[in-house]
Amino acid sequence: MKNMKSMAAKFPGTCAICHERIEVGEPILWESGKGARHAIHGEEAVALPKPEAKALDTVEVGDLAGVYELFEKARQHLKFPKVVLMLPSGGILKLSVAGPKAKKPGTINVTNGAAFGVGKWFGRILQSGTMEQGRRDQPTSEMIDLLRMFAKAPADTAAAFGKLTGKCCFCNTALTDEKSTDVGYGPVCAGHYGLPWGKAA
Ligand SMILES: [Zn+2]
Ligand SMILES: [Zn+2]
């Protein structure tokens, strides 16, 4: 009894047997509920195991103990601690801790800080200092350099952004007084992140 229809593919798709692509016009066998397969597999073929998703490329950015400490302090006051860093070329790098519902909770997500749709996810940094890079948007060498600098001296690197932009590196609010522009963050965020503020340099 023949249940499958033999035809040429009208749409591109994925073969139910070999999981490879089916191009428009390729000879296929099709049955409602079973999907399409390359005709060469025949009706009796059993689906092959699906190939494992390819692991993400990684790069080492260094020991992040200081960064985690910074975020840990902030989490006592803030639900979503974040740091915005400025790249020498002008772009922005936003670091935030992945929430409990994330794929890998507690890791640090690195994005361009833009809204959904135009946002780019460059990857996540694990506690070990290994960064798993995004598939679509990979960090540039400039970004990796900045992340390494940040890993080494988180508070100083974050503050440098605030000094550069005149905005608090943690909450993006404009810094209005000299004590704040001196350190690169405001008094409220200094309290949240456990950083010195207002002491004469
Ligand atoms: Zn196939
Ligand atoms: Zn702030």
pLDDT in tens, 52-83: 777 889 999 998 888 888 888 888 888 888 88
Q: Cα(55) to centroid of ligand 2, in Å?
A: 37
Q: Which of 196, 194, 153 is nearest to 71 (CA)?
A: 194
Q: Give the number of C-alpha atoms closer than 13 A to the C-alpha of residue 88, restricted to the C-beta side.
A: 9
CA angle 196, 130, 140 (to 5 degrees): 85
Q: Cα(193) to centroid of ligand 2, in Å?
A: 10
Q: Cβ atoms within 10 A of the Cβ of 47, count?
A: 14
Please give the pLDDT value at position 201. Answer: 44
Q: What are phi and psi for residue 65, nearest 5 degrees?
A: -50, -45
Q: Cα(41) to centroid of ligand 2, in Å?
A: 61
Q: Could you tell me if residue 82 is left (phi over 0), alpha (psi between -120 and 50 degrees) or otherwise beta?
A: beta
> Is a pLDDT exceeding 70 seen at residue 1?
no
Q: Cα(132) to centroid of ligand 1, in Å?
A: 31
pTM strictly above 0.75: no
Average pLDDT over residues 32-40: 93
Q: Cα(56) to centroid of ligand 1, in Å?
A: 26
Q: Cα(145) to centroid of ligand 1, in Å?
A: 44
Q: Specify the amino acid at residue 32.
A: S
> Is a pLDDT exceeding 60 seen at residue 9?
yes
Q: Cα(10) to centroid of ligand 2, in Å?
A: 56
> Is a pLDDT exceeding 90 seen at residue 158?
no
For residues 116 and 142, give the distance between their C-alpha atoms in angstroms, rounded to a whole number: 23
For residues 40 and 69, give the distance between their C-alpha atoms in angstroms, rounded to a whole number: 58
Please give the pLDDT value at position 76. Answer: 87
Q: Domain residues of the chain, as ranges?
A: 1-53, 58-200
For residue 65, give both structure tokens: 């103990």
Residue 57 CA: distances (Å) to CA of 81, 133, 141? 26, 5, 14
Confidence of residue 199 (pLDDT cuts 50, 70, 90): low
Q: Cα(20) to centroid of ligand 1, in Å?
A: 6
For the chain, give the percent of residues with pLDDT over 90.
47
Confidence of residue 139 (pLDDT cuts 50, 70, 90): very high
